[in-house]
Amino acid sequence: MPTAGGPRVLLRRLREIMAEQTSAQMRLDKLVTVIASNMVAEVCSIYLRRAGKLLELYATEGLNRSAVHNTRLKEGEGLVGLVSETAEAVNLSDAPADPHFSYRPETGEDPFKAFLGVPIVRGGQVFGVLTVQNKAERVYAEEEVEALQTVAMVLAEVVAQGGFFNIAELDEPELRIDRPRKFMGEGLSEGVASGRVVLHEPRVKVERMIADNPVEELKRLEEAIGGLRESVDQMLMSSELDLTGEGREVIEAYRLFAYDQGWRQRMRDAVRTGLTAEAAVERVQDETRLRVQRLGDPILRERAHDFDDLARRLLRHLTGESGHQVLPHDSILVARNMGPAELLDYGREKLLALALEDAAATSHVAIVARSMGLPMVSGLEGISDNARGGDAIAVDGETGEVHLRPQTEILNAFEEKRALRQKAQARFAAIRELPAITKDGVPIRLMMNAGLEFDMPHLAESGADGIGLFRTELQFMLGETMPRLADQTQFYKSIFDAAGDKPVVFRTLDLGGDKVLPYARWEREENPALGWRAIRIALDRPALLRYQVRALLVAAQGRTLRILLPMVSDVDEFNRGRALIDRELERARLLHQTRPTQVLVGAMLEVPALAFMLPQLMRSADFVSIGSNDLLSLAFAVDRTNPRVAKRYDSLNPASLTLIRLIVQSAAENSGDLSLCGEMAGRPLDAMALLGLGLRTLSMQPGQIGPIKMMIRSLNLGEVSDFVDRLCGRTDHSLRTRLAAFAAERGIVLK
């Protein structure tokens, strides 16, 4: 079955569709129609990868349109799943007779016998599967397979770059090249760092995928291969390298790869299908890397590194790029592997850490990294293909955890850990074990905020009295699938174990707004901060809350469990949330499970309306925690993500202090347990004002506890309370200057 217009015609048509200003779905629908027509196929379908390694039918020509977005296959399930799992083309004359075939009646594919499926691959990652089908039994010709692979390669590039699909419109985090990624490896050199990615061998960006003149592209390819071979020959002849013995054997083997005729011919064949020389190099290298990864042979994997290096060098010959980089001051080096000399070439001045795919604890590069004092993590499979130069990255050389394009909360957590390690200021260390008591004898409880397991060592390092806010949603946001009950239980138990006798307040899932699960479909909202989030989601999807509470109850066996419900707007919401918790407690009783010795349920006061309902709330809630960030944002109608207004109103505005004073007084009148967590608690001047308003428990980032404790031990709280009370009646835009002057006059330590 020859193609109707040839692969070049198809690629030109694809380029036209890519440029059209229509919806993603319309472009997908048009694309499958064009491919089917060009290849004289009765069916053409595109399946794209979703979170959890699911493949969803996104567009089809020839199958039932009602199956689009309704048919899903797991990786390895059916012929489509087989293509995705193996990253290899599947070409069958009688597909229904194959044991891998998975019958899906909603698609209406019963009449079709012949099947050809190819993976949509880029950078070693399978983004989906492209298929064609025909009724007649036949095996597709080699040139047809080649043509479909070429289309899939171009399709993968534009999916990954976001240049074809409107990712926001599709709302598929799994397909986003810029989504946050977590990698777990082995820490080879201690330390914590956050900064910007510098690729040791940066991927050469291919701007042009489709060739205008294949003859010219073949000529360019041949010239570049000639230049590459010449440079390798010069490397062997160079007197500067002094290559002997094993070192020379390595370079000799490298030279054989450069002269490999099979490698050269595969690239030439790719160009003949209509790709540019650069795109042909990338396609062949992607295919080589995937084949080696599937084999799992360590020797072959090492050889694959050589081919990767050759491909990068060849692309530089084609593009004229030198590969020379100017390092920013906060560089974190990302590489597949590298030698000690290469690391030393970068120097220590601007390099903060090292993240490698392949290196052992005893390797020379690890030894050099430790001697340079660089945090280093290895065993990070796939990080080189997923990282881009300039991406934010955080590296923990102790736990082996690396976050690429991390969420703000995670980046903040790394920064706190780094700050605690680097500063270790003697004056804070000297008072770490001393109580936070004012000069006039008033004790203050200083708690820390957390959200990840590696936050827990801060509890002892900072001298905190406990964890006043543990953000449980971070565990859900890091993975590509919903954490299983057993995983949640084990995670919460590890937090309890690390905390020992100190209390931990677990906030239930605070999702919505800017906190979106990568494996969930979320509707875009005009104002997400005021939309469907936190307890509103929990009450509409009660199974989510009950599932989490079930894990917490098991993890807290024999201990006190403190649960905090976020974003409560009225007492009824709190009561309904508590009722769900009580149902799980009753379930545990009926199943004769060992339960916590005590379950305390609190409300997070972030919505101003709840401030006027505290007497009623205190009859139901065991404690209340003021979330100062959202509370003041909502009180002043400020979008904190909008730079035009984010800093317009000061947290030390008279209105802020008056509102918090109202809450403190109401809680005191009703004998309520009240605390505050948020940025205010961790700023010494703000915290001084909060103490003056009557708050006695503050929760903050662990690195802030030392400065806050020093401030507390230097003040007379009676004087502060009188002064702050008078300030509430003023009309200043900010009371910050007056509070700072008061502190300076009385020798209160704010730094």
CA distance 542 to 229: 64
Active site residue 200: no
> Pairing state of beta strands 376-378 and 392-396?
unpaired
Whether the CB-CB separation of 224 and 276 falls below 8 Å is answered with no
Q: Helix-strand-coil percent breakdown of the chain, rounded to 5?
A: 50, 15, 35
* DSSP symbol at 72: E
| Amino acid of residue 676 | L
Catalytic residue among 44, 317, 403, 677: 677
**Widest CA span of the chain, in angstroms?**
92
Tokens 């409560």 sit at which residue? 568
At 623, give phi and psi (nearest 5°).
Answer: -160, 160
* DSSP symbol at 437: B
Residues 6 or more apart in contact with residue 76 via CB below 8 angstroms: 82, 84, 85
At 602, give phi and psi (nearest 5°).
Answer: -120, 170
Question: For residue 638, what are the CA distances in angstroms to 143, 513, 627, 634, 652?
Answer: 60, 14, 15, 6, 15
At 533, give phi and psi (nearest 5°).
Answer: -155, 165
Catalytic residue among 69, 364, 728, 733: 364
What one-character-per-residue DSSP string does 622-671 give?
SEEEEEHHHHHHHHTT--TT-TTTTTTS-TTSHHHHHHHHHHHHHHHHTT
Report the candidate in 104, 105, 102 with the shortest Cα–Cα distance to residue 75.
Answer: 102
At 243, give phi and psi (nearest 5°).
Answer: -80, 125
Give the H or E element holding residue 560: strand 560-565
Q: Is 417 exposed, middle or buried (0-12, 13-18, 19+ CB in 10 A)?
A: buried
Note the helical H segments in 55-180.
Answer: 78-86, 142-161, 167-170
Active site residue 44: no
Active site residues: 364, 677
